[in-house]
Structure 1
Amino acid sequence: MKTTTKIIERVCPRCQKVFKTKAYDILNINLNLEMKPKVLNGSIFDFKCANCGALFRNPYSIVYEDMKKKYIIFLNMEDKNYDKKIEKLEELYPEYKIRIVSDMMDLIEKIYIFEVKLNDKIITYLSYKIYQDVTRKLLDMKSPIKISKVLFDSFNPSKNQVNFGALNNFQKRIFISATYTDYKTLQNSLKYMQCFKENLGEYKIDQNWARRI
């Protein structure tokens, strides 16, 4: 797909004025490599109010494509129905992974996972199990810290580590590591092998998906 733009409306959180601005509709990152850092640090979703000059971040729906690594991610912020578009993409690019996320952080996480060539289904399942384990331990400790989500952070093969970060109500930097051996064990597990394959119609690979398996 080629990169395309659209005009969207934003509401300034300071002066409450509504203004129109240009944004990406489809972003083919291979054709616009200069935008990759802005996606990964979230600044692609930063806006400046045309009225008062206030700077603010407000994510919007975007389709992110990486032709080299063969995946497409839909960031769906407006509960759009992408069924027909996905059906067409599956015909055009049968070898692509297609994902739908509804949060900016989930989009960034998926990109990082695919960058290091890991299976996002296994990573999502691992992060969910970590979420359950850490939440249980915090409750046992009667800690005021509450974990809202665990996200993939990085992969360090030389140290046999898959690293995760836990989002929490105190905005503390909490990092947890699993071993790459854990990842490989899940990858080779007869119990989960079918779950971790690409299955037609499975595009939302998130905590709810992990809970179901």
Structure 2
Amino acid sequence: MDAVESSGTVRQLGWGEGEWLNPPVRALPLGDGELVVTAKPETDFWRTTAYGFVHDDGHGLLAPLPAGTAMEVSFVVDYDRQFDQAGLLVRVDAENWVKTGLEYCDGVVQLGAVVTRDLSDWSSAPVPEWAGRTVTVRASRAGDALTVRARVDREAWRLVRLAPLAPDAVATAGPYCCAPTRDGLTVRFTGWTHGPADAALHE
């Protein structure tokens, strides 16, 4: 299944169309349509589970994600410090959000998602072959569900997570990054689109 198969228009979003949740050190638009973001050190999104702390100071460039729509973010995975991370953040409020993307953890790049409803729930799987390549993460909102998919380059989409999201919830979404353990993380975002939700959960 092509995850963007549905009626409606897919639109490339400009980096100026979002609002920063916790502005980064620097966000530099490039002439080729890319955005280079430098994260502040010791930033993250997490709530309590296992680690015992709450962090809500990661960087997210967010725009509306109404019910019945989907959003994609593309970026280059070229980071290599513990818990370096980038991808797509879907946010209702500080206690209800989903982040999905690539995180460097325990010596390898991992594809995963954190679903937070008061407490954070993390799932991940190693994808070392994705390092140094362009990854796209997609969140599709339909009914009471948020379907999260990802792919590298133009390979097939992989289902990452199916999470609950109330149909009447007011949500925003967009590119995010965090640098929990170091200074100087820079992430190169290459695309940001908004369009219709996926036509179906399965092919």
TM-score by length of 1: 0.28
Q: Which structure's residues are more often strand, by fraction?
A: 2
TM-score by length of 2: 0.29
Using CA pairs below 8 Å that are at least 6 residues apart, which structure has the higher relative contact order? 2
- Which protein shows a greater Rg? 1
